[in-house]
């Protein structure tokens, strides 16, 4: 755990769909079409209203960006659907796109008055982003954002497995 001003940043192992926060970030795809992993879990827990709202409001979302919907059956108020990059070899601006996905998510949360937010490890599942590098990029992006735009009470990285938790904790100063 790290505290910067009023913001607590922490890493926990768990189920992001069970988080009691203002908004949950979903690791989405560019088509906002639902999928497996975190995306599938959030859509199952949130119910069909998530997909209905996505289809009604958006025609997709480019890599490195994010869109926001209500949270359906989740305890959160919002779900932010962030599109991280597919890992190729690190030479295709993957780090910039991943950092941007976190930054855009924080911008949307701030615009909607959210004080607490839960992130998964974006792009580390089927998109193949190496966990060590993803953790470094994610935490660096969050720290940079809150130093410029304070106001969050809690930013939580909710990691699915013990390995990811250990890695993310290593990069939290």
Quick: pLDDT tens for 47-80. 999 999 999 999 999 999 999 999 999 999 999 9
Report the C-alpha gap between 57 and 77 in whole angstroms.
17
Q: Does position 173 have pLDDT exceeding 80, yes or no?
A: no
Report the C-alpha gap between 152 and 155 in whole angstroms.
7
pLDDT for the residue 119: 98
Q: Where are the beta strands (DSSP E) in the chain?
A: 2-4, 7-13, 23-28, 66-70, 78-83, 116-119, 154-159
Q: Which domains does the chain have, with CATH numbers?
A: 2-171 (3.40.220.10)
Whether the CB-CB separation of 83 and 66 falls below 8 Å is answered with yes
Which one is catalytic: 22, 39, 89, 161?
39
**Long-range Cβ contacts of 56-60 (<8 Å, 24+ apart):** 58/32, 60/30, 60/31, 60/32
pTM above 0.85, yes or no: yes
Report the C-alpha gap between 112 and 13 in whole angstroms.
26
Is 39 among the residues known to form the active site? yes
């Amino acid at each position: 755990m790290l505290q910067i001003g009023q913001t607590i940043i922490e890493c926990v192992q768990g189920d992001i769909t069970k988080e009691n926060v203002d908004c949950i970030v979903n690791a989405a795809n560019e088509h906002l079409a639902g999928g497996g992993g975190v995306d599938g879990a959030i859509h199952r827990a949130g119910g069909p209203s998530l997909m209905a709202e996505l289809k009604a409001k958006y025609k997709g979302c480019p890599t490195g960006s994010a869109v926001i919907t209500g949270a359906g059956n989740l305890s959160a108020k919002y779900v932010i659907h962030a599109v991280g990059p597919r890992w190729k070899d690190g030479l295709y601006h993957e780090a910039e796109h991943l950092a941007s996905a976190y930054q855009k998510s924080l911008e949307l949360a701030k615009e909607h008055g959210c004080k607490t937010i839960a992130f998964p490890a974006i792009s580390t599942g089927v998109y193949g982003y190496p966990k060590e590098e993803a953790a470094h990029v994610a935490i660096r992006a969050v720290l940079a954002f809150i130093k410029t735009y304070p106001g969050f009470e809690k930013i939580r990285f909710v990691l699915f497995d013990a390995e990811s938790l250990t890695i993310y904790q290593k990069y939290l100063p």
